[in-house]
Chain A
Amino acid sequence: MSEVADRIKEIINPENLVYAKSPLLNDDIMHYCPGCSHGVVHRLIAEVIDEMGIQEQTIGVSPVGCAVFAYNYIDIDWQEAAHGRAPAVATGIKRVMPEKVVFTYQGDGDLAAIGTAETFHAVNRGENIVMIFINNAIYGMTGGQMAPTTLIGQVTATTPNGRNVDLNGYPLRITELLAQLPGAAYVTRQSVQNPAAVRKAKKAIRKAFEIQAMKKGTAFVEVVSTCSSGWKLNPVESNKWMEENMFPQYPLGDLKDGSRADAGLYSIKG
């Protein structure tokens, strides 16, 4: 026994450190449910901001949704926006302080239902902001009602018999639509279901922040996410359900990688 303890002591020393919590994440216990993607994405954002050395320049905009309290965890300045209005709030911040780094963090209800107009127009103006979109196909915060991204047949509190096309229309692939907008610079869909995916998602988030620094237009990162409580599945089942059902509908990968369009393409002739 003491041999094992000695062995552990030998392992726990600075040279062997392979991972540490980002200094931008505080020690507060997150309010997220076990198996929820929100916490993982928070960590990635904190790491990216820290690694890029932009803590002092960055202002986050948290949504109304489960991530409303994002401001409790990441040690940067924050503004909490009304439901759906984060892109407008971010626009206001960025326009008066163009030298700062501004990002929104929004759920599917926030970004793709009540805030659709603000989302589209912020991207269409090519606002130099980062938008992080947590698509968990449900309204987590209010107790698991249908979201615009809820899948056909998916049971939620307001689709107890499964989402029905005749009644509820189709799952909204808003990211595909946003990729069509000339103001978008970088549009990508990622997930965080395993370590490899987490690494990829982090790279995408970093790239989005770099694009903002280069003033290329809006950088948009969707993260296909789990809502274990809303889906009424345990964390392992949630990941599996996401891979089996969400990924075919919301395929991962880049949808646009460039910069906002040249105005000349859209200008009058004379």
Chain B
Amino acid sequence: MGELRLMKGNEVIAEAAIRCGCDAYFGYPITPQSEVMETLMANRPWEDTGMVVLQAESEIASIHMVYGAAGSGKRVMTSSSSPGISLMAEGISYMAGAELPCVIVNVQRGGPGLGTIQPSQADYNQATKGGGHGDYSLLVLAPASVQEMHDFVVLGFELAFKYRNPVMILADGVIGQLMEKVVLIDQRPRWTNEQIAEISGTWATTGKSKNRKKHVITSLEMDSFIMENNNLRLQAKYDQMKDEEVRFEAIECDDAEYIMVAFGSAARICQKTVQIARQKGVKVGLIRPITLLPFPEKIIAEYATKVKGFLSVEFNAGQMVNDIRLAVNGKTKVEYFGRMGGIVPTPDEVEAALEQKLIRG
């Protein structure tokens, strides 16, 4: 068993990155996640593991530094918050197009625009529907605890390399700032050049030796037929993710008449709501998508024939609710409840909404 510590969500991102053998972090300060880079810098991992930590001149530069380092076969990450992720959009699309692995953390704040530094989940659509241009998909993980902030950095790198695709950890300001106990993995070494050759030796730009062809990291293709094939290959990869990577948690759903769907810190509040409602005798369950992309649509479709309705609870104007509606496909009622602007609803508030929108409504 690893080391047990009391830590802040953002600090844990940094700690997990160092411990899992991450090679480099590039980032630019933005609230509410600046502690990620601050923690990394304070830990001076370059002295122990050799991990590079560099403050870039912008999020645009950060993501393209990530691109360059990831193209070298290294395990690389960045973190930011909403406006910074918007700036990275082109780079993320390039990485998906060039099939480069990396981990991107978005500790969301409220928008639009400069918005607020208070927590939010308003970047759900940005994370799961694109954000950047072109037909690409990320793998999106939604942590609901400090422990998951840790675990998803480790898992994120595994998935990023399994699929050669950027992975996003879509957290929010609550989880970023929350202090909880966390079990840390033991320090793992960074990959050696030999390991990199084994894992990424068919594509990484580590210098063209005499016995192989040159490697070119690019998303460009002028021949439409080849480009369509490239797209088909990407789509096949995304289909494989749908088959193999869906993760969710179903809480008290077995006998449920109503199911709430919520991710991240909204799911923690809904867990409390489940208790309150059940004390009142209302059979309520909770589905917590852990992967927002691929979305756990099968489990929702299964329950759609069993329950009287779903309530999507989100810290936004109702984004995930559309994915629930697609999965439910008209078989039962789907409602939304949420708050915006950095307001985190109480469990009672959610319970009242459940009552009003689903049970009485």
Which residue in A76, A85, A92, A117 is a CB contact (below 8 Å) of B24?
A92
- Residue pair B26, A92 in contact (C-beta under 8 Å): yes
Q: Hey, which chain A residues are within 8 Å of B23, CB to CB?
A: 96
Does A241 make an interface contact (CB < 8 A)? no
| Stretch among A51-59, A182-190, A205-213, A256-264 lining the B interface | A51-59
- Residue pair A96, B74 in contact (C-beta under 8 Å): yes
| Stretch among B63-71, B113-121, B257-265 lining the A interface | B63-71
- Residue pair B61, A118 in contact (C-beta under 8 Å): yes
User: How many of chain A's residues have a CB under 8 angstroms from any CB in B?
Assistant: 32
- Residue pair B207, A77 in contact (C-beta under 8 Å): yes
Central interface residue in A55, A78, A81, A97, by most chain B CB within 10 Å: A97
Q: Hey, which chain B residues are within 8 Å of A93, CB to CB?
A: 68-69, 71-72, 205
Q: Hey, which chain B residues are within 8 Å of A55, CB to CB?
A: 208
Does A42 make an interface contact (CB < 8 A)? no
Q: Per-residue 0/1 for A91-111: is the Cβ within 8 Å of any B Cβ (1 yes, 0 no)?
A: 111111100100000000000
The docked-state distance in angstroms from the alpha carbon of A118 to that of B62 is: 10
Does A32 make an interface contact (CB < 8 A)? no
CB distance from A27 to the nearest CB of B (A): 15
Closest-by-CB residue of A relative to B26 is A92
| Stretch among B143-151, B181-189, B210-218, B282-290 lining the A interface | B210-218
A-B Cβ contacts below 8 A, count: 124
Q: Hey, which chain B residues are within 8 Å of A85, CB to CB?
A: 60-61, 64, 67, 91
- Residue pair A118, B94 in contact (C-beta under 8 Å): no
CB distance from B92 to the nearest CB of A (A): 10
- Residue pair A79, B208 in contact (C-beta under 8 Å): no
- Residue pair A79, B61 in contact (C-beta under 8 Å): no
Closest-by-CB residue of B relative to A89 is B68
Q: Hey, which chain A residues are within 8 Å of B4, CB to CB?
A: none
The docked-state distance in angstroms from the alpha carbon of A81 to that of B52 is: 21
Does B125 make an interface contact (CB < 8 A)? no
Which residue in A79, A94, A100, A120 is a CB contact (below 8 Å) of B67?
A79
The docked-state distance in angstroms from the alpha carbon of A145 to that of B69 is: 33
CB distance from A54 to the nearest CB of B (A): 9
Q: Which residues from 11 to 28 on chain B have a C-beta closer than 8 Å to any C-beta of chain A?
A: 23-24, 26
- Residue pair B52, A75 in contact (C-beta under 8 Å): no
Which residue in A75, A82, A91, A97 is a CB contact (below 8 Å) of B214?
A75
Q: Hey, which chain A residues are within 8 Å of B91, CB to CB?
A: 82, 85
CB distance from B301 to the nearest CB of A (A): 38
The docked-state distance in angstroms from the alpha carbon of A25 to that of B58 is: 36
Does B76 make an interface contact (CB < 8 A)? yes
Known: A89-B67, A92-B64. A56 touches B209 (CB 8 A): yes
Central interface residue in A56, A75, A89, A117, by most chain B CB within 10 Å: A89
Which residue in A56, A78, A89 is a CB contact (below 8 Å) of B64?
A89
The docked-state distance in angstroms from the alpha carbon of A198 to that of B70 is: 35
Q: Which residues from 43 to 75 on chain B have a C-beta closer than 8 Å to any C-beta of chain A?
A: 52, 54, 56-58, 60-62, 64-72, 74
CB distance from B309 to the nearest CB of A (A): 45
- Residue pair A88, B68 in contact (C-beta under 8 Å): yes
- Residue pair A75, B208 in contact (C-beta under 8 Å): yes
- Residue pair A68, B69 in contact (C-beta under 8 Å): no
The docked-state distance in angstroms from the alpha carbon of A176 to that of B206 is: 33
Known: A85-B91, A118-B61. A95 touches B69 (CB 8 A): yes
Closest-by-CB residue of A relative to B190 is A96
Known: A80-B220, A93-B68. A117 touches B57 (CB 8 A): yes
Which residue in A58, A78, A95, A118 is a CB contact (below 8 Å) of B216?
A78
Q: Hey, which chain A residues are within 8 Å of B61, CB to CB?
A: 85, 88, 91, 117-118, 121
CB distance from A30 to the nearest CB of B (A): 15
The docked-state distance in angstroms from the alpha carbon of A118 to that of B64 is: 10
Known: A85-B60, A88-B64, A121-B57. A79 touches B206 (CB 8 A): no
Q: Hey, which chain A residues are within 8 Å of B98, CB to CB?
A: 80
The docked-state distance in angstroms from the alpha carbon of A234 to that of B64 is: 37
Q: Hey, which chain B residues are within 8 Å of A92, CB to CB?
A: 24, 26, 64-72, 76
Q: Which residues from 124 to 174 on chain B have a C-beta closer than 8 Å to any C-beta of chain A?
A: none
Q: Per-residue 0/1 for A114-131: is the Cβ within 8 Å of any B Cβ (1 yes, 0 no)?
A: 000110110000000000
- Residue pair B64, A95 in contact (C-beta under 8 Å): no
- Residue pair B207, A100 in contact (C-beta under 8 Å): yes
Does A90 make an interface contact (CB < 8 A)? yes
Q: Which residues from 170 to 205 on chain A have a C-beta closer than 8 Å to any C-beta of chain B?
A: none
Closest-by-CB residue of B relative to A92 is B68
CB distance from B52 to the nearest CB of A (A): 5
Q: Hey, which chain A residues are within 8 Å of B67, CB to CB?
A: 79, 81-82, 85, 88-89, 92
Query: 11 interchain pairs (CB within 8 A)?
Result: A79-B217, A80-B219, A81-B64, A81-B67, A85-B67, A89-B71, A91-B65, A92-B67, A96-B72, A117-B58, A118-B64
Query: Can you list the 9 inter-chain pairs with the closest CB atoms, starting with the nearest?
Result: A92-B68, A88-B64, A92-B65, A80-B218, A89-B68, A77-B205, A92-B69, A85-B64, A121-B57
